[in-house]
Amino acid sequence: MKLRAGSTTLPVAEGRSSFAALVAGLGEPVPEVLSEDRTLPDGTGIRVYRRPSSSPDGPAVAFFHGGGWVFGDLDSHDTLCRGLARASGATIVAVGYRRAPEHPFPAALEDCVAATAWLASSDLGGGRLVVAGDSAGGNLAAAVALCARDAGEPEIAAQVLLYPMLVPPGCGDPHPGDSPLLTRAESHWFWQRYLPDGVAGAYATPGLAADLAGLPPTHLVLAGIDPLREEGLAFADALRAAGVPVTVREHEDLHHGFLLCTRELPAARAAIDEVGKALWATGR
């Protein structure tokens, strides 16, 4: 499967269009899930997903999309969020946070923290709050969980991190295998735009956090063909050492971003079903 779009070699606006065009053809439709676009008081756009038969006792999930903090939006991850809503019965709330390089760290995190706080006080879901995200969105989910722990609110029942982007290149163990949807060089390009002034603490780089105690139960999904694999495994080890319950599901033969590829990969559809069960069960 050759998925390269060359997005990082283009001007940012063109790169976003290239990424959007690439992702648009990867996912199969999930028409049975309902969605509604809303705007939060601070102007952040969100999209709420629910299947008609969703249980009122299901969790509310704040979902943060990937794309290296530069690409991606509510549309790029629409089929993934629909698939998660169908598989879990949860209410999925996708957050359209501000993107780099126009808005480097901490803008995206501030939007995600605010959206999670709003969700915690809303009437969506059945009282349990989960944070989730893929790739750079997994970074944001982990950072939101750290912020909530340090602030003492809101209470987060679980974090579900999908091949998360946790440390800048050079800060963790290297992985020689590039993925069709992410190379080590592209990862470095993304980090430079998110953190133009360099490393900025645990909220920017959760994989380097010195204290992980008190974080919620964690479900990690990793891909074997992924330059981020080792940092995900290292984060799982660090969480366990801090006493945090961790489940790791590694898909050795799949690549970074595979959950977006449900049109061509039956394994991606099966994996979304697994993640859906984790969203429902983790933190109960």
Which of these is catalytic: 7, 88, 135, 187?
A: 135
Helix, coil or strand: residue 14: helix
The number of folded domains in the chain is 1
Tell me whether residue 94 is in a domain: yes
Q: How confident is the model at residue 77 (pLDDT cuts 50, 70, 90)?
A: very high
Q: Is it the case that residue 1 has pLDDT exceeding 80?
A: no
pTM: 0.95
CATH number of the domain bearing residue 236: 3.40.50.1820
Distance from C-alpha of 221 to C-alpha of 200, rounded to nearest angstrom: 25
Does 177 have pLDDT greater than 70? no
Q: Is residue 229 part of a domain?
A: yes
pLDDT tier at 136, thresholds 50, 70, 90 = very high
Q: How far apart are CA 34 and CA 21, in angstroms?
A: 23
Structure tokens belonging to residue 83: 């698939």
What is the rounded distance in angstroms from the CA atom of residue 222 to the CA atom of residue 219?
10
In a domain, 124, yes or no: yes
75 is catalytic: no
Q: Residue 8 — pLDDT band, cuts 50, 70, 90?
A: confident
User: 37 is in which domain, residue-wise?
Assistant: 7-281
Do residues 175 and 227 lie in contact, with contact meaning Cβ atoms separated by under 8 Å?
A: yes
Neighbours of 174 (CB within 10 A): 10
Residue 283's pLDDT band (cuts 50, 70, 90): low
* Candidate from 3-12, 17-26, 233-242 with smallest mean pLDDT: 3-12
Structural domain contains residue 267: yes
Residue 1 lies in a domain: no
> Is residue 150 in a domain?
yes
77 is known as an active-site residue: no
Per-residue confidence (pLDDT) for residue 169, from 0 to 100:
78
Q: Residue 257's pLDDT band (boundaries 50, 70, 90)?
A: very high
Active-site position among 7, 226, 251, 255 = 226
pLDDT at 181: 87
Q: Is residue 62 part of a domain?
A: yes
Out of 65, 77, 251, 256, which one is annotated catalytic? 256
Per-residue pLDDT at 284: 66
